[in-house]
Structure 1
């Protein structure tokens, strides 16, 4: 028999993916050690695991995967062929529809890019309190993206508008926004995306209490602190209009004690998300529920209860750390709406986490 680690290595599925498919009843281990809970698989299950990995790479729905594996195990090749053909047709139709829609969007994107050029070329120079800029960077840096397919999310947006400097970062699944006061050249607005490494170099420069000078000239940004300077090229992309993304309907609010809540998250129950991507990676989810008295608890599992919402546990822990307060406000809307993490004393600095749909 193979251990779960050996099966993961030989099949191309991650250990977390195999655990998920066990819980989902799709690929159940032949034996589970009653003492350690360790999973063991029979040799013939390797073929099923490899098949499962291929089906997930082509985004076959979980319900269809169940039938394919059942047909495979029962030698019902006719069922398997029909399910594969049906999924291929769905993919082909979806691709055709996507090409048609994208062809109509391209000219609209071209016009939009031309209208945004002025925000990237405006020259602005501001003075910013070093502690405020450092705190703003600390509040948003964790949410910057790393996906090479979305380079415009691979940094921190500096949105300079009059005497207000807003910093924004997002990787699609989470967003963080912070505000710092500024003085100097007002009126002109400029937006630049500071690459993550340059943002980190700026943060390292912000060790003092004195104001620093921030200058944007075309695609170059410079931060000066006394006789020290950090400068570099900005990303040549447009950032999403974050102002639209943060307009959320009012939700229910709960004040949480951050140290106690963090401990509850770290030791509480988790649920594996459905594996995504070519590597079949999944993440640990925390299922949260807000009681009528405003208490937030971590649930054993999720169901159809509309007061429950699942979020990536690591993302939530990062947002709590970035909040930099012993008390934070959690705001819950609908199960499909982002969860907001706000500071009680600063409404301009907050994080948003996209909820994760639970598979039942």
Structure 2
């Protein structure tokens, strides 16, 4: 017999998923210990679990998965290919619809780009080194790594008036921080700075001396303490982060950051459930009850590694909860200068 941990590891489903598939009757264990409730699986169930993992990876709906597994285990080899072919045709139709919609979007974007005028980006400003370093540290974790979206592989420097906002996003999370400046006070200037260049700048921000930041077109330069680093921006338009952060007011919950870190550290999957009451805790079982309100408080799914990244070193943080489908807002208590958004994930397997 396989323990649930062995079954999760060998099948690729994970322990939480196996618990979910047991509860919905798709893959019940061969034996459940009446004293401890521990699940045990027969050796022949491993192939069924691996098949289940592949079907869900292919995006097959749970109702069709049930039919495939029933036909497969019952020896009905004729039904399984028909179910697979039907799912493949559905995916192909959805892909064709998506291609058509994206082609229309590309056409609209092309028209918009052709009517836009190019403005010369020029700014010269002084930033306190400690403020600038703290701002970069607050957003660096959210920089994207997808080679298909190179513009997300940098940090947006957004200068307007006496404020320098730095912004990073990888689509699943977005982080914003602010540093005060002097010497510019002019029109808004934006440049997306590639992550390696940002890291080189951050390495110079070690003392209390002010840093001189110069933007000239696609070029950017930082000088501080007699040292200098310069390079080119990414030259692409960064998403409108101000629009992305326009959320309705939500319920703000103080975070016990050390306890939350401890709870998240015990999660080895790509998603877990948070229970939101007068505080925020990690649920014992990620898939139980799904998202939304429950008897023990609101439940929302998150990527535990992403949430750990967003937790600041200090203990004074708040979580703002708008709703089960809205981004979670994490911010330091008493300030709106540094915050991050984290997209929730579904708790349905």
2:303 corresponds in structure 1 to 312
What is the CA-CA distance between 1:53 and the residue it aligns to? Answer: 4.9
2:217 corresponds in structure 1 to 218
* Structure 2 residue corresponding to 1:22, chosen from 10, 18, 23: 18
Counterparts of residues 37-116 of structure 1 (less than 5 Å): 42=43, 44-45=44-45, 47-48=47-48, 51-114=51-114
1:288 corresponds in structure 2 to 275
Q: Does 1:327 align with 2:326?
A: no
Counterparts of residues 110-259 of structure 1 (less than 5 Å): 110-114=110-114, 118=118, 121-259=120-258
Render the CA deviation track for 1:227-277: whole Å, top value 9, x for unaligned.
21122222232211111111111111122232343334435xx5x7xxxxx
The size of the alignment, in residue pairs, is 336
Task: Provide the secondary structure at the position in 1 that maps to 2:311.
Answer: helix
> Is contact 2:256–2:279 with CA below 8 Å preserved after alignment?
no
Which deviates the most, 183-192 or 121-130?
183-192
Q: TM-score, with normalisation over the residues of structure 1?
A: 0.82
Render the CA deviation track for 1:279-323: whole Å, top value 9, x for unaligned.
xxx514142222xxx3333333442652221222222221112xx
What is the CA-CA distance between 1:95 and the residue it aligns to? Answer: 1.6
Q: 1:117 to 1:210 in 2, by over 3 A?
A: farther
RMSD in angstroms over aligned alpha carbons? 3.0
Unaligned runs of 5+ in 2: none
CA distance in 2, matches of 1:344, 1:127: 27
CA distance in 2, matches of 1:196, 1:144: 7
Q: 1:163 to 1:19 in 2, by over 3 A?
A: same
2:284 corresponds in structure 1 to 300
CA distance in 2, matches of 1:262, 1:54: 32
What is the CA-CA distance between 1:214 and the residue it aligns to? Answer: 1.2
Q: 1:288 to 1:105 in 2, by over 3 A?
A: same
Q: 1:50 to 1:299 in 2, by over 3 A?
A: closer
Task: Provide the secondary structure at the position in 2 that maps to 1:184.
Answer: coil
Q: Does 1:341 align with 2:340?
A: no
Q: TM-score, with normalisation over the residues of structure 2?
A: 0.84
What is the CA-CA distance between 1:22 and the residue it aligns to? Answer: 2.1
What is the CA-CA distance between 1:126 and the residue it aligns to? Answer: 1.4
> Is contact 1:161–1:187 with CA below 8 Å preserved after alignment?
yes
Task: Provide the secondary structure at the position in 2 that maps to 1:204.
Answer: helix
CA distance in 2, matches of 1:59, 1:236: 36
> Is contact 2:271–2:301 with CA below 8 Å preserved after alignment?
no
Task: Provide the secondary structure at the position in 1 that maps to 2:252.
Answer: strand
Q: 1:330 to 1:226 in 2, by over 3 A?
A: same
Q: 1:18 to 1:329 in 2, by over 3 A?
A: closer
CA distance in 2, matches of 1:38, 1:109: 54
> Is contact 2:8–2:15 with CA below 8 Å preserved after alignment?
no
Unaligned runs of 5+ in 1: 273-281
